[in-house]
Amino acid sequence: METAQPLPMDRDRCSVARTLQFAGDRWTLLILREVSFYGVCRFERLHERLGISRAVLSERLERLVEEGIIERAPYRPQGERARSEYRLSPAGEDLFPLLVAFMRWGDRYRNDGRAPVIVRHRGCGEPVDVLLTCAAGHPVARDDVEPHLGPGAGAVRAERR
Amino acid sequence: METAQPLPMDRDRCSVARTLQFAGDRWTLLILREVSFYGVCRFERLHERLGISRAVLSERLERLVEEGIIERAPYRPQGERARSEYRLSPAGEDLFPLLVAFMRWGDRYRNDGRAPVIVRHRGCGEPVDVLLTCAAGHPVARDDVEPHLGPGAGAVRAERR
What pLDDT, on the 0 to 100 scale, is given for residue B65?
Answer: 97
**A1 pLDDT exceeds 70?**
no
CA distance B155 to A12: 47
If one compares B7 and A56, the residue with the highest pLDDT of the two is A56
pLDDT-based confidence at A76, cuts 50/70/90? Answer: confident
**B44 pLDDT exceeds 50?**
yes
What pLDDT, in 10s, does the model give residues A33-69?
999 988 999 999 999 999 999 999 999 999 999 999 9
What pLDDT, in 10s, does the model give residues B115-148?
999 999 998 999 999 999 999 999 999 999 999 9
Q: Are A13 and B94 an interchain contact pair (Cβ–Cβ within 8 Å)?
A: no
Residue A108 resides in a domain = no
What pLDDT, in 10s, does the model give residues A94-135?
999 999 999 999 999 999 999 999 999 998 999 999 999 999
Minimum-distance CB partner of B116 among A27, A121, A152: A152
**CA-based nearest residue in chain A for residue B112:** A152
Residue B79 resides in a domain = yes
Q: Are A149 and B10 an interchain contact pair (Cβ–Cβ within 8 Å)?
A: no
Cβ atoms of B139 and B130 closer than 8 Å = no
Query: Mutation test of the interface with chain B: which of A35, A121, A122, choosing the one with the most B Cβ atoms within 10 A?
Result: A121
Q: Above pLDDT 90, what percent of chain A?
A: 76
The gap between the terminal CA atoms of chain A, to the nearest Å, is 20
Residue B62 resides in a domain = yes
Contacts of B76 (CB under 8 A, 6+ apart): B82, B83
How does the average pLDDT of chain A come out, rounded?
89
CA distance B101 to B95: 10
ipTM of model? 0.90
Residue B83 resides in a domain = yes
The count of domains in chain B is 1
Dihedral angle over CA of A93, A94, A99, A102, nearest 10: 180
How does DSSP assign B96-123, residue by residue?
A: HHHHHHHHHHHHHHHSTT--SEEEEETT
Query: Mutation test of the interface with chain A: which of B117, B129, B143, B157, choosing the one with the most A Cβ atoms within 10 A?
Result: B117
Helix (H) or strand (E) holding A121: strand A117-121
CATH number at residue A139: 1.10.10.10
Residue B21 resides in a domain = yes
CA distance A64 to A97: 18
What pLDDT, on the 0 to 100 scale, is given for residue A85?
Answer: 92
Which amino acid is present at B4? A
What residues of chain B, 84 to 123, have a C-beta less than 8 Å from chain A?
A: 91, 93-112, 114-123
Q: Kindly give the residue spans of alpha helices, DSSP state H, lying in A24-154.
A: 26-38, 43-50, 54-66, 90-93, 96-110
CA distance B74 to B90: 19
What pLDDT, on the 0 to 100 scale, is given for residue B81?
Answer: 82
Range of the domain at A85: 11-94+131-159
Q: B125 to chain A nearest CA, in Å?
A: 9
What pLDDT, on the 0 to 100 scale, is given for residue A118?
Answer: 95
Count of pairs with CB atoms under 8 A, one residue in A, one in B: 328
pLDDT-based confidence at B32, cuts 50/70/90? Answer: very high
Query: Mutation test of the interface with chain B: which of A7, A134, A143, A149, choosing the one with the most B Cβ atoms within 10 A?
Result: A134
Q: What is the pTM of this model?
A: 0.90
- Label residue A159 exposed, middle or buried (CB < 10 Å: 0-12, 13-18, 19+): exposed
Residue B35 resides in a domain = yes
Contacts of A98 in chain B (CB under 8 A): 98, 101-102, 105
Contacts of B140 in chain A (CB under 8 A): 121, 123, 128
Q: Are A3 and B147 an interchain contact pair (Cβ–Cβ within 8 Å)?
A: no
What pLDDT, on the 0 to 100 scale, is given for residue B6?
Answer: 64
Residue A72 resides in a domain = yes
Contacts of A38 (CB under 8 A, 6+ apart): B2, B3, B6, B7, B147
Q: Is A12 on the interface with B (CB under 8 A)?
A: no
What pLDDT, on the 0 to 100 scale, is given for residue B74?
Answer: 87
What pLDDT, on the 0 to 100 scale, is given for residue A31?
Answer: 96
Closest CA to B64 of B86, B84, B33: B86
What pLDDT, on the 0 to 100 scale, is given for residue A99?
Answer: 96
Residue B36 resides in a domain = yes
**B160 pLDDT exceeds 60?**
no
Closest CA to B114 of B122, B123, B104: B104
If one compares B95 and A5, the residue with the highest pLDDT of the two is B95
Top-ranked range on mean pLDDT: pick from A8-12, A155-159, B139-143: B139-143
